[in-house]
A and B are shown apart, each in its own frame.
Chain A
Amino acid sequence: MARIELNEIAHSYHPNPADESDYALKRIQYVWEDGGAYALLGPSGCGKTTLLNIISGLLIPTRGKVLYDGIDVTGLPPEKRNIAQVFQFPVLYDTMSVFNNLAFPLRNRGVESGEVDRRVREVADILDLTPYLNKRAEGLAADAKQKISLGRGLVRSDVAAILFDEPLTVIDPHLKWNLRRKLKDIHEQLKLTFIYVTHDQVEALTFADKVVVMYEGEIVQIGSPQDLFDNPEHTFVGYFIGSPGMNFLDCTLEGNVARCNGARIPLDDGVAAKGRNAQGKIELGIRPIHLQVSSVAVDGGVPANVKMVEDQGSYRLVNLTLDGKTLRARVPESEPIPEDQAWLVFPLEWTRLFADGRLIK
């Protein structure tokens, strides 16, 4: 069990990094609390795998320190840190039985055979692998193989954290559900620190209690899935989380109103006040699910034109034009949609302002 602290970590793959852009990771400062279920979410190339490798010890960061329970482990290789890792593709010892695969990390550490047997059976039971214990690992299905990879981490009593690098990539879609559930179960049961790297929002949001969103080598937001959806602190989070992502409009502030070209969108007093003091490019953001579409003129409504309606069965996505800009609104199955002219209501509590990509707070 451990609390993992990243102290001013930065990493560059260049031997002599000159400026910011040479860094794959730019100044990461974060503490992974003991027993947490974390996800590292971001598009490919955002630095999430680099960060994972620094935590596991496969990479030594250019700058900064990694502390496990307050002890500096920055220079220690993976086998000297108490971590286990599940990779994108199942990594197994093909020629061994499932039992021997699970026992391997224990035998390497000189654990006596009675204890090995006990631990392996315990873990096999948790992972529903007991019927396969005497089978050769090679012939099993991908999901069973990934469970074995995980099991090799779980058998070790000394393991502090288990790292997952897109572990469900090779799993059939209809089996992913089972494995996600199993992972959550195991986490609840064993209370180990789990760090799960993925580019898939479904996986990250379903698995984790805390999601760390990365973008271009930086952590842009850390929060619960609901937080990321309801209160994105960066335009990237707004765009990346949710399908479709948040709507953004360039605007200027006039009193308590955001002016986007000709349209005037009323804002919350507090939000507007902070917005007026902010520097840089100001954008207004609202999620499609929060944008209200009305077929009659309403108080505070902004006139817009319906361009296209995409019926998604349980809801419709309405594409509207507001002074040349396209906005998407999500309308439930049960509500009518105006033919052409519509009025958009931006609820004050869901309308956000961003300055140079960052939420104005």
Chain B
Amino acid sequence: MGVSLQDINRTVSGEIHLADVNLEFESGSRNVILGRTLAGKTSLLRIMAGLDRPTKGRILIDGRDVTGVSVRKRSVAMVYQLFINYPSLTVYQNIASPLKTSGIPKSEIDRKVRDIAGMLRIDDLLDRLPAELSGGQQQRTAIARAMVKNAELLLMDEPLVNLDYKLREELRVELQDIFSRRQAIVVYTTTEPTEALLLGGNITVLDEGRILQSGTTQAVYRNPATVKVAEVFSDPPINFLGGRIQKRTAVFGQDIRVPLEGDMRNLPDGDYTFGIRSNHFFLSKNGPTDAQIQAQVELAEINGSETFIHFHHAGDRLVAQEDGIHPYRIGSAVTLYVSPGCLFVFDPEDNLVAAPSVDRIHAKAV
């Protein structure tokens, strides 16, 4: 099965929610829709589910136009941000509920419910009511209910956003595993770049109702087409510094000079924006051409296994990332290094003209 969205537009009382969305989803594919809040992710899912009708455009399933077909007649399941279960039904009854109307024999329903409950590790909670479950268990139940009828299209709208980080971590890994055992088209929305990267597959970056870029998740991460994509697809935020290229040297910030390497040497002189991911600020010098930045720590944010060092440079707020947990006092001085091989270069129209090559990053460490 394949789903194709053709020229989808949706306007609600004059406000554009989606504009000119064209997308193809293949059977068995995993698709991430990445975008900030209000980017149009939920609008898109609701249209795909058949809960809303597009103002303009068509939805085709296997080449058949289903734009006007209601949600009940489509083979689709959806999981929401909030943990939505029937409060008066047990976990078992909740999971079985989508099968009740389809005339499947009882024993078959029982087998399917136990199967999916086992996969989501809630098989020992089947007799409980949703109110007696933790948030994570409630969302597992909701996911099980969505998956039990084997819908061809599985839509997940930021399903993990309301869970504690440890639960999120565990469920993310399990979901990956579960998706890989299914033939359904999975469409998964998220605001978090790390989640998108973990799920892999294809990605569509959405902003203000428009598609900014689509492709495989890795390719988009390595080659963000515009400044905006790079911004949406990086956590902590990618650092941007305005500057210029002068005689094969990038000049930016407070007199930072980096001689260009490889293909970047062919870039003509002129004004550019340079993007540096937080993990590409290094605390030690990796090469002879590395430029040095003196900075004062604004705040060291500790994120699980990394330390994000926030600092100011030439009026811009920048973030560097260091592996492990390290104490930094506010106001203490750090020296950071920028390598020529780690620069994203954007032209004055904010389009990408050069990205760091993975090989070169690999070579750096050796």
Contact = CB atoms under 8 A, between A and B. Distances in A.
Direct A–B contact in the complex, CB atoms closer than 8 angstroms: yes
A115 B358 CA distance: 63
B104 interface: no
Given A202-B304, A225-B302, A242-B304, A333 B325 contact: no
Interface residues of B, number: 38
A332 to B, nearest CB: 7
A242 B361 CA distance: 25
A336 interface: yes
Contacts of B234: 313
- Report the contact-size class of chain A (Cβ under 8 Å from the partner): 35 or more
A259 B356 CA distance: 43
Nearest to B193: A313
B218 interface: yes
A314 B321 contact: yes
B72 interface: no
Given A201-B304, A334-B362, A226 B326 contact: yes
B269 interface: no
A229 B218 CA distance: 30
Nearest to A211: B302
A330 B323 CA distance: 10
Contacts of A313: 193-194, 197, 221, 234, 277, 279
Interface stretch (B26-34, B111-119, B161-169, B346-354): B161-169
Nearest to B362: A334
Contacts of B362: 333-336
Nearest to A208: B302
B305 A330 contact: yes
A206 B306 CA distance: 11
A332 B321 CA distance: 12
Interface in B333-366: 358, 361-362, 364-365
Contacts of B169: 243-244
Interface string A236-274: 000111111100000000000000000000000000000
Contact of B198 (A201, A228, A242, A310): A310
Contacts of A226: 325-327
A33 interface: no
Given A188-B330, A243-B169, A206 B197 contact: no
Given A184-B330, A334-B365, A335-B365, A43 B164 contact: yes
A201 B165 contact: yes
Nearest to A224: B327
A169 to B, nearest CB: 11
A205 B299 contact: no
Contacts of A206: 299-302
A202 B325 contact: no
B305 A332 contact: no
A206 B325 CA distance: 10
Interface in B157-192: 164-166, 169, 176
Contacts of B365: 332, 334-335
22 contacts: A44-B134, A184-B330, A200-B164, A200-B165, A202-B165, A205-B325, A206-B300, A225-B302, A226-B326, A230-B324, A230-B325, A240-B166, A242-B304, A243-B303, A244-B305, A310-B197, A311-B200, A313-B234, A315-B323, A330-B305, A332-B365, A334-B361
Given A44-B164, A226-B326, A313-B194, 20 more contacts: A43-B166, A181-B330, A201-B302, A202-B304, A206-B301, A228-B325, A229-B324, A229-B325, A230-B324, A241-B304, A243-B303, A244-B305, A312-B197, A313-B221, A313-B234, A314-B321, A330-B305, A333-B279, A334-B362, A335-B365
Interface of B: 134, 164-166, 169, 176, 193-194, 197-198, 200, 218, 221, 234, 277-279, 298-305, 310, 321, 323-327, 330, 358, 361-362, 364-365
The 6 closest A-B pairs by CB, nearest first: A243-B304, A334-B365, A314-B279, A205-B302, A229-B325, A181-B299
